[in-house]
Amino acid sequence: RVLLLAAAAHAVEFGAVAAANALSDVYAMGAEPKFCLNLVGFPAQRLPLSALSEMLRGGRSVCAQRRRLCVCG
Protein backbone atom coordinates (compact mmCIF):
# COMPACT_ATOMS: atom_id res chain seq x y z
CA ARG A 1 0.00 0.00 0.00
CA VAL A 2 2.78 2.44 0.85
CA LEU A 3 4.53 1.79 -2.47
CA LEU A 4 1.29 2.46 -4.35
CA LEU A 5 0.82 5.76 -2.55
CA ALA A 6 4.42 6.77 -3.22
CA ALA A 7 4.07 5.79 -6.87
CA ALA A 8 0.96 7.92 -7.25
CA ALA A 9 2.44 10.89 -5.39
CA HIS A 10 5.64 10.89 -7.44
CA ALA A 11 4.47 9.17 -10.60
CA VAL A 12 6.84 10.86 -13.08
CA GLU A 13 9.86 10.05 -10.95
CA PHE A 14 8.62 6.50 -10.36
CA GLY A 15 8.33 5.91 -14.11
CA ALA A 16 11.73 7.46 -14.79
CA VAL A 17 13.44 5.29 -12.18
CA ALA A 18 11.74 2.17 -13.52
CA ALA A 19 12.89 2.93 -17.07
CA ALA A 20 16.44 3.80 -15.98
CA ASN A 21 16.68 0.55 -14.00
CA ALA A 22 15.43 -1.49 -16.96
CA LEU A 23 17.93 0.15 -19.33
CA SER A 24 20.70 -0.36 -16.79
CA ASP A 25 19.91 -4.08 -16.69
CA VAL A 26 20.25 -4.30 -20.48
CA TYR A 27 23.60 -2.49 -20.42
CA ALA A 28 24.78 -4.69 -17.53
CA MET A 29 24.27 -7.74 -19.74
CA GLY A 30 26.56 -6.19 -22.34
CA ALA A 31 23.74 -5.42 -24.76
CA GLU A 32 22.79 -2.17 -26.50
CA PRO A 33 19.06 -1.40 -26.33
CA LYS A 34 17.52 -0.53 -29.69
CA PHE A 35 14.22 0.77 -28.29
CA CYS A 36 12.16 0.82 -25.09
CA LEU A 37 8.90 -1.09 -24.75
CA ASN A 38 6.30 -0.31 -22.09
CA LEU A 39 4.49 -3.30 -20.64
CA VAL A 40 2.21 -2.26 -17.81
CA GLY A 41 0.23 -4.03 -15.14
CA PHE A 42 -1.61 -1.23 -13.34
CA PRO A 43 -4.01 -1.38 -10.36
CA ALA A 44 -6.66 0.88 -11.92
CA GLN A 45 -9.05 0.14 -9.06
CA ARG A 46 -6.58 1.54 -6.53
CA LEU A 47 -4.85 4.39 -8.36
CA PRO A 48 -6.11 7.03 -10.78
CA LEU A 49 -5.30 6.53 -14.45
CA SER A 50 -3.65 9.94 -14.40
CA ALA A 51 -0.89 8.36 -12.30
CA LEU A 52 -0.31 5.79 -15.05
CA SER A 53 -0.06 8.56 -17.62
CA GLU A 54 2.51 10.35 -15.49
CA MET A 55 4.52 7.16 -14.95
CA LEU A 56 4.66 6.58 -18.69
CA ARG A 57 5.74 10.18 -19.21
CA GLY A 58 8.64 9.65 -16.80
CA GLY A 59 9.68 6.52 -18.65
CA ARG A 60 9.49 8.25 -22.02
CA SER A 61 11.71 11.05 -20.75
CA VAL A 62 14.46 8.59 -19.81
CA CYS A 63 14.21 6.91 -23.20
CA ALA A 64 14.45 10.29 -24.93
CA GLN A 65 17.50 11.27 -22.85
CA ARG A 66 19.21 8.09 -23.98
CA ARG A 67 18.04 8.58 -27.56
CA ARG A 68 15.94 5.41 -27.63
CA LEU A 69 12.56 5.17 -29.27
CA CYS A 70 9.78 4.44 -26.79
CA VAL A 71 7.05 2.23 -28.23
CA CYS A 72 3.68 1.59 -26.58
CA GLY A 73 2.69 4.19 -24.06
The series of mean pLDDT values per 10 residues for the chain, 73 residues long, is 69 92 96 92 89 94 94 72
Q: The pTM is what?
A: 0.83
What pLDDT score was predicted for residue 3?
65
**How far is residue 49's CA from residue 28's CA, in Å, rounded to a whole number?**
32
- Cα separation, 4 vs 36, in Å, equals 23
pLDDT confidence of residue 5: 66
Query: What pLDDT, on the 0 to 100 scale, is given for residue 55?
Result: 92
Q: What is the pLDDT, as a whole number, of residue 71?
A: 87
What is the per-residue pLDDT for 47? 86
